[in-house]
Structure 1
Amino acid sequence: MISETQLNLDDLKRRIDSLRTKINLDQLKEEKQKLEFESGEPTLWQDEANAKKVMSNLAQIRDLIDSIEGLTSEIKNLEELLDLASKSNDDSLDGDITILKETLEKHLEKVELVTYLSGKYDSSEAILTIKAGQGGTEAMDW
């Protein structure tokens, strides 16, 4: 039987809480409501550039909120399944628990990456150029 310690649930919870703190979920929900109200205004599309910006921001905020709430739901499901398995002493749930944990970790890593790369310029493209040094032995590595 898989134990809570083996799954590192405390670490997963800590990482999810860290994400919630970083994005300030309550403030983000308020921003979402504001943008939803603004998107419902009949005059929004008179300024197309502003309308696109509002709708883009709204979509990003919705995705982020849905992701964080999805992670919270997934960790609760994992805890409940683990509790059910421990109460019933049912080893047949170990496979389901492992799959659920792996899915949660992948989802968490994806959300962490998106969250930590959510700065002003992070949605823009970048060009990376790598050039050799002075020549000689430094250039031979390339």
Structure 2
Amino acid sequence: NSFRTNPEFSTADAIQALGVGEALVSVLDEKGAPTVVQRTLIRPPASRLGPLSPGERAGVMAASPVKGVYDAAIDRESAFEVLKVRAIARSGGESARDAPAPRTPTRTRAPSGGRDRQTLTETFAKQFLRTLAAAAGREILRGVLGGMRRR
């Protein structure tokens, strides 16, 4: 490549001499320093915008290495459902076979005395106080260190 061997290398001349599909690139070496700019060919992207046609989609799925593995949707029994059935069976109310297993977990509210989530107001107030305390601490530290520097 004439740009690499030429000691009078000019980036402006190199840019003007670039052809279609070429670019000037520089990479980092092992120590993190940039290397000399070099000409290279750019590979055009192999992607496209827009959806696949049904035929293209079928072809991609047929050539997939996981063909058949994820084709059928399986709704397995969750740990929540298994534990719910065990809890009902232990309580003696119904047998484990007769107990209906809920399909979605239900959320229950914690008692008001033991809630563990903060309201939006509490979160805002806590964050505001933290910011205020940090700013006050910075100002105190600047005052102390600034007074020491003047002496």
**TM-score normalised by the shorter chain: which range applies?**
under 0.3
Structure showing the higher strand proportion among its residues: 2
Structure showing the higher helix proportion among its residues: 1
TM-score (norm 1): 0.24
TM-score (norm 2): 0.22
